[in-house]
Amino acid sequence: MGDCNSDDFRTYTSATSFVDDRRFSKHVHDNVHGNIYLDRLSLKFIDTEQFQRLRDLKQLGLTYMVYPGAVHSRFEHSLGVYWLASDAVNRLRTCQGRELGIESFDVQTVKLAGLLHDVGHGPFSHMFEREFLPRVRDGLKWSHEDMSLKMIDYIVDEHGIDIDSDCLKKVKEMIVASEEGNSVSSKEKQFLYDIVANGRNGIDVDKFDYIERDTRACGLGCNFQFQRLLETMRVMDNEICYRAKEYLTIHKLFSTRADLHRTVYMHPKVKAIELMVVDALIKANDHLQIASYIDEPAQYWMLDDTIVKRIETSTDQELEESRNLIRRIRRRDIYQFCNEFAVPKEKLEHFKNVTAQDIACSQNSDAHLNEEDVIVTNVKIDLASGRNNPLERISFFQDYDSFEKFPIKDDRISHLLPACYQDMIVRVYTRKSELVEAVSEAFENFQLKTYGKKTQVHATPEKKKRLKY
């Protein structure tokens, strides 16, 4: 295979992809990627009430309560993933199209997978499926990816969208590829399944978009450049591989994602507000039957972030407790974060989630804590592969005139790279501000009992202990 000459690629995109498609496409201007061109089939999905619902789902859930700029939605993220998926598959088609047999059918399928991958998300994104549903539908195995598949079928049927059945099947397979996590597959053109939701090694355009979009929205810097990976990728043995010189670029992808989890997605105050909204939704569930919406796509598309405003402005007596919780959030009277500790590295392998009961049972004899006064969150932050190094699952090549792929070990690149790839942080909150001191002391007692020492960084500030509302 010849080198993917950048001049040739610019000629292709401007002369073939853009000019031909402009006659049949619509363009919108995105604040991250610039002009995005939407093809006719994709527009048939976009111009439905089910897809437009994504405008009312904030990409980062309740993060905007701490980072005011984080008000972007799943709608623009979906357009961004569509565009990057289009860019990625067209680059491969330009460089290796004949060799790989990439056809227009493949390009369309990958683009639709990028566009529709999040159409099954619930209110406030991951909070709905990870925090709310497990508490009201115990034992239910439910994911937004699976709901995306049902929503796609519903949109096609409801709006009579004329789409090839094989294309539709492959779109849905690509959306759940990361859930399946199969590195070896009998699927034809398996490399196409690595573009949107990569279960093989975690490098995909979904991450490219949300890392760039989320850091901008929160006013944070981002030193990860996804363009370098798009420009240097190459398919070898049915797998997307990357030039060896981009090893540190890929490491920045995973480390930036972990930083976002620590400083933004899992911010202590963001989680405190999420805990309050979850409590409000649980208290409102019997009256509003919120959880029942997941049973049918025809109902599910009507559920979005506006459920909180619906509760807040309702005059129903049955929603009074939920309404009061939401008003507490508005007035910044939120659940109090007491303290946290990082689980020692040597204890990670056999770590068991800490519970509110564990903390309540560790209280001092003169305290009067009830289990329902305490909330414990066990926050796992990793580089996308648990306690393993994600870069060990990636194949590299030396240069464009080489035909051999190979793995690379961290110690061959730098001794400054991490030796551990996962953090487990245990946080404790209280629903009542007057109990901060008692909960904090119980939390310290639990650490002493479990590890023989206090593993938190510092004591809970005295002013927080004295906080009264």
8 Å CB contact between 121 and 77:
no
Distances (CA, A) of 370 to 114, 367, 375, 432, 449: 47, 10, 11, 11, 19
CA distance 278 to 431: 13
Q: What token pair was written down for 311?
A: 């509760």
Selected catalytic residue, list 77, 117, 144, 267? 144
CA distance 239 to 301: 36
8 Å CB contact between 28 and 47:
no
Cβ neighbours of 460 (radius 10 Å): 20
Q: What are the helix and strand counts (H, E) for the chain?
A: 21, 9
Q: What are phi and psi of 395, to 5 degrees?
A: -100, 140
Pick from 453, 290, 443, 460: nearest CA to 376: 443
Cβ neighbours of 51 (radius 10 Å): 24
β-pair partners for 378: 426
Cβ neighbours of 47 (radius 10 Å): 12
Cβ neighbours of 235 (radius 10 Å): 21
Residues 6+ apart with CB under 8 A from 89: 102, 106, 107, 110, 111, 192, 195
CA distance 345 to 387: 10
Residue given tokens 């995909």 in the structure block: 204
β-pair partners for 376: 428
CA distance 111 to 45: 12
β-pair partners for 34: 30
Distances (CA, A) of 289 to 52, 267, 281, 304, 318: 23, 30, 10, 14, 12
β-pair partners for 30: 34
- Told to judge if 29 belongs to the known catalytic residues of this protein, a careful annotator would answer no
Residues 6+ apart with CB under 8 A from 112: 41, 42, 45, 82, 167, 171
Q: Which helix (H) or strand (E) holds 375?
A: strand 374-382
- Looking at the annotation, which residues are catalytic? 144
